[in-house]
A and B are shown apart, each in its own frame.
Chain A
Amino acid sequence: MRRSIIGRSWPNAIAVVLFVFFIFPVYWMFSTAFKQNSDIISKTPVFFPLRGTLEHFGTATGAAQFWEMVGNSFTVTVLAVLGSLVIATLASFAIARMKFRGRKSFVLVIMLAQMAPWEVMTIAVYMIVRDGDMLNSLVPLTAFYMMMVLPFTIWTLRGFIAAVPKELEESAMVDGCTRTQAFVKVVFPLLAPGLMTTSLFGFITAWNELPLVLILNKATGPGSAQTLPLWLTSFQSLFGDDWGATMAASTLFAIPVLIIFLFLQRNAVGGMTAGAVKG
């Protein structure tokens, strides 16, 4: 009897420990952001703050050019994701549905491109952008972010298109649709979850990107082309030990991503596995 209770409860016990391990940093970020300073720098950490404050959010959003960077981040991210969705829908339809010479090589290039070492290519990108006199601009940033998310987008959409039964398209064509019409009217609506999931991942990649913007858009001040990841890394050096404001800044940066994740949770897991586990 004793053994079976332990046998039944140990997975739950471990699950609770893991739950705390994974959620605590996120919880700590939120709770610190809303805590009063006296609770943040108390000798004994206050785990369940009762007295909240919005003061830290005021400090964070009051930082120079904060709203400008919010605008920059959204512009770059959304345009990059939309661009890659358009290009990727065309390409993934070709590799999922058509047989042609060079298909396999293209797939291979996509898989290689997905592992492109952007982190070490920043110096070359810097030279290219500088020679084009486009430093401190959102245009090259958008273009390169589009490229960063493109291979993944193609690869994932390919999976989603392949999952739509070919018979659906064929019967639409028997009913008189052209191949383009069959795609637009039959396949495309079924791709909605796939497009959502894919853009979610693209959004996160572009939103989080740091190495490239760090080297391309160094200029600060009004009208700068800096984005939020840069703002957040420099925040700590600017605000020193103001952990309340720093956590408020982290919260503001993380919140769009967390909301998207929770909103699309089911799709996220399904889409991710569709892309990653093959066969």
Chain B
Amino acid sequence: MAVQSEPVRVQSPKRAAGDALNSGRPFAGPSLLSRSAPYLLLLPAILATLALLGWPLVKTFELSFQNLNKRQLILHLTEWNGFANYTDQLTSSEFWHTTGRTIAFTAVNVVLIMGGGTLVGLLLNRLGKKMRILLQAALMLAWAMPIVAAATVFSWLFDSRFGVVNWVLDQLGWHDMADYNWYSSQTGTFFVIVLLIVWQSIPFVAFNMYAGLTTIPAELYEAARMDGAGAWRIFRWVVFPSLKPFFLSTTFLEIIWVFKSFAQILAVNAGGPQGLTQTLPFYAYIQGTGNQHYGIGATIAVLTILMLVVLMAYYFRIILKQEDEL
């Protein structure tokens, strides 16, 4: 590292900084301690990351190559079985169904979140002060609701007998819905989960969007309007280019967050009916902890992580370009 390649000059960092600044003499060159200061400051963070994040990550890979079920767990046996778990999963139709379901689930959620969030952000920018504060307060509450509490509330809203949603649908003339059980079907359960996730995620996007919009100078809009641009063209040629980094990073974050969602799936209907609303993280949990096939669960986890890595790759290329400008 650079630290070692430079000539070592032993001097206290206090004196080094103090001398250089006080006496006006040319800076005497960084001492060993001041050159290693950044690494010392980073040390706790690095150690914590290695022990608490790196180790579980490595352990996940390790477990995925083991035949580890209830028996092996209790007897503390380590039985390596090579790629057996992987061939098992990669040839299992349930795994591929779950993967396809997870991708579709993520796509639907992210499109709704980004579309809805952008529109709400644009709306916030157009509203008068009072109305804006009112809407911001509502968004803030939805955003702040703990996931588990929100999921419980949604179960109540969509309760078949006394739920307010079924009552409203009935009043609107949709009489079939009067005692409809949302959790008896895949579509119904997914509808509740998606609505829950979108409801909680739009505020984040909308607030960011609004904050970004306030940084666009008014002259830009005026100039565009003078040139005869309509609302869509202003968005396409003025707003979008200015906020493109925001769009990219937020879309990416939402993809990751939705892809990983676990608590919502568990709390709304525990992956039911018949496991038809399980997505990959939940599937890994059910296989691993639920059915006590820990090795298989770890294999699904690894495959999920690999998919996330693929999703990240493109984004990180963009982020690294931006990082140069920082």
Contacts and interface: CB of A to CB of B under 8 A. Distances in A.
Given A26-B141, A265-B140, 20 more contacts: A11-B127, A28-B156, A29-B156, A87-B44, A91-B41, A94-B37, A109-B49, A113-B53, A116-B57, A120-B280, A120-B301, A123-B298, A126-B289, A147-B52, A147-B53, A208-B263, A215-B289, A254-B145, A273-B211, A277-B245
A220 B289 CA distance: 17
Interface stretch (A51-59, A64-72, A97-105, A189-197): A97-105
Given A117-B281, A178-B18, A276-B250, A22 B142 contact: yes
B208 A276 contact: yes
A135 interface: no
A19 B262 contact: no
24 contacts: A15-B134, A18-B138, A26-B142, A40-B162, A45-B162, A91-B45, A115-B308, A116-B53, A119-B260, A120-B60, A120-B284, A147-B49, A173-B18, A210-B147, A229-B263, A232-B152, A235-B152, A236-B152, A247-B152, A250-B153, A253-B146, A254-B145, A261-B144, A269-B207
Nearest to B324: A104
A56 B138 CA distance: 25
B294 A101 contact: no
B38 A278 contact: no
Contacts of B289: 122-123, 126, 215
A273 B121 CA distance: 13
A111 B207 contact: no
A210 to B, nearest CB: 5
A45 B297 CA distance: 44
> What 10 A-B pairs have minimum CB-CB distances, sorted nearest first?
A120-B301, A147-B52, A124-B59, A261-B144, A273-B211, A94-B41, A91-B45, A22-B138, A23-B138, A124-B60
A47 to B, nearest CB: 8
Contacts of B10: none
A197 to B, nearest CB: 13
Interface residues of A, number: 99
Interface string A249-274: 11101100110111001001100110
Nearest to B2: A101
B108 interface: no
Contacts of A150: 45, 48-49
Contacts of A107: 323
Nearest to B116: A18
Given A12-B127, A45-B167, A28 B153 contact: yes
B141 A258 contact: yes
A214 B289 CA distance: 10
A174 to B, nearest CB: 5
B256 A22 contact: no
A210 B262 contact: yes
B312 interface: yes
B277 to A, nearest CB: 16
B13 A179 contact: yes
B114 interface: no
B123 A14 contact: yes
B38 A211 contact: no
Nearest to A131: B76
A94 to B, nearest CB: 4
A90 B266 contact: no
A273 B207 contact: yes
Given A26-B145, A90-B45, A98-B38, A123 B60 contact: yes
Interface in A1-22: 11-12, 14-15, 18-19, 21-22
Interface string B7-28: 0000001100110011000000
A206 B48 CA distance: 17
Contacts of A211: 262-263, 266, 281, 285
Nearest to B45: A91
A216 B18 CA distance: 51
B148 A15 contact: no
A186 interface: no
B326 interface: yes
A25 B157 contact: yes
Contacts of B120: 18
B246 interface: yes
Interface in B281-297: 281, 284-285, 288-289, 294, 297
A52 to B, nearest CB: 18
B24 to A, nearest CB: 10
Given A90-B44, A123-B297, A254-B145, A262 B49 contact: no
A246 B41 contact: no
B322 interface: yes
A100 B2 contact: yes
A117 B38 CA distance: 28
Contacts of B145: 25-26, 254, 257-258
A222 interface: no
A124 B56 contact: yes
Given A124-B63, A278-B326, A176 B22 contact: yes
Contacts of B245: 277-279
Residue of A44, A112, A144, A269 with highest tally of chain B CB at under 10 A: A269
B139 A121 contact: no
